[in-house]
Amino acid sequence: MTKQFELNQRIYRDGDVVLYQRPDHKNPKWQCRIHVPGASGYVIRSTKSADEFEARRFAEDLWDELRLKVKAGGVLRAKSCERVYEDFKDSYKTIARSEKRWSDVCDNLERYVLKFLGSRAIDAIDSATVSQYVDWRAKNFLRKPPGNNTIRMELTCFRAFCDWAWRRGYTKNIIDWQAPSLDKNRRPHFTRGDWSKLTRFMREWTRKGQTGEGGGKYRERLLLCQYVLILGNTGMRVGEARTLRWKDIESQARDGAEGSKVTDFIFWVHGKTGSRDVVGRNEEIGTYLQRIWEQRKTEIGKDPSPEEYVFCHRDGSAIGSFKKGLEALFKAAGVNKSAEGENRTAYSIRHTYATRRLEEGVNAYLLAKNMGTSVKMLENFYGHTTNRTNAEELTKTRRGGAGREVPRFAWEAKSK
């Protein structure tokens, strides 16, 4: 019997293909309702044509397409990306490498990717969909057009979602694509002049923290300044510094030039590229660490535990971000912007380390390994820096130190 909302019904393929027009439309286009043998349910689409011949051709082509899809193991009506994401969000929390990673991926997906995908079927995503997203994203933003690096980050989250959907059987094929090339603009690092200006300013700024003029913020200022100095001489990432504990630091003696003794500081860090050793740039790092250690010991009345975070609040919990403090410090020192007018951030310290190390002749391979990045990344972002490879390299002069007394610092004795 003809349904009341289906006028002028036409039936083909033994009832698998039905054409009809809707009574509530003027000059109605033909709709089609498709069923495929061996699959449950049906698919309803508009043929987008008022011509019956064109509508039938569209419907039969769709029937052939869906029949092949079902025959290949697909489903007639796949779940929408929105519904699949609900399952993904709960499941991914148990397999993500950290809660922060889970939060970052979900935030990026919800902010733009899911808005683009909407009710699209999960098994309809392909490399063309990703290209369409890149084009769409360039025109859809809250504050300013996204750079390629931002889009790459979002596509990384998109890929995590697609890979999960494939492993769970929502899609038959792995979805792959070529990410847009990285922006190769120089990072806003500190010039030698601005870095000297900043470090000179920090000494007086920390001292004033003990006075009313500094708001009694001596602890906060001392910790922040040592944070800047340690990052500036190790190149470690913000996230790696956040999880650094006293037990992760040790010193190691070696022979220097002309028979001198040199102490290296080794940091065992954990971050987005896994865990690795980071070799500090100079012995001054020991002084910066000792300041933090002594201040904390005075604060709690005993030696800090080896398990305690180096950069911690008064209650011992890790400081999540120094962002506001750094903004205030850079502005007060008059070095908050580069010559090109770019705002300097915590990552500018890492970029300053990379630039300075390359200028000092550190081998690019060794530097990339120390920073947990690739030589390609160094070339992309620091290609303007002269690399004098015949100069003293990062660990080139290190020799075995068996039998020699190694200098010990307060935190090391407690961490062993």
CATH 3.40.50 is the classification of domain 7-71? no
Region 261-286: mean pLDDT is 90
| One fold for 7-71 and 192-415 | no
Structure confidence by residue, pLDDT tens digits, 111-147: 999 999 988 888 778 888 888 898 899 889 888 888 8
Superfamily of domain 192-415: Intergrase catalytic core (1.10.443.10)
Mean pLDDT of 388-413: 51
The yes-or-no verdict on residue 149 having pLDDT over 70 is yes
User: So where are the chain's domains?
Assistant: 7-71, 81-167, 192-415
Residue 365 contacts by C-beta under 8 Å, 6 or more apart in sequence? 375
Judged by average pLDDT, the poorest of 34-43, 117-126, 152-161, 220-229 is 34-43
pTM given for the model: 0.58
25-29, 102-106, 183-187, 343-347 — which is least confidently predicted? 183-187
Q: Cα(82)–Cα(251) distance, rounded to whole angstroms?
A: 52
Question: The tokens of 75 are what?
Answer: 């489903």
Per the prediction, the chain carries an average pLDDT of 84
- What tokens appear for 405 in the block? 């007394």
For CA atoms 67, 71, 74, 75, give the dihedral sign.
Answer: positive
Percent of the chain with pLDDT over 90: 45
Token pair of 321 as six digits: 């971000």
∠ CA 231-385-230, nearest 5°, is: 10
pLDDT at 331 (0 to 100): 96
Question: Coil, strand, or helix at residue 311?
Answer: coil
> Treating both helix axes as pointing N-terminal to C-terminal, what angle do 375-382 and 364-371 enclose, rounded to 10 degrees?
100
pLDDT above 60 (res 247): yes
Sign of the torsion angle spanned by Cα atoms 146, 147, 150, 156 = positive
Question: In the prediction, which pLDDT does 187 show?
Answer: 66
Q: What is the pLDDT of residues 361-376, one digit of tens each?
A: 888 899 999 999 888 8
Residue-level pLDDT at 79: 77
Residue 175 has pLDDT above 70, yes or no: yes
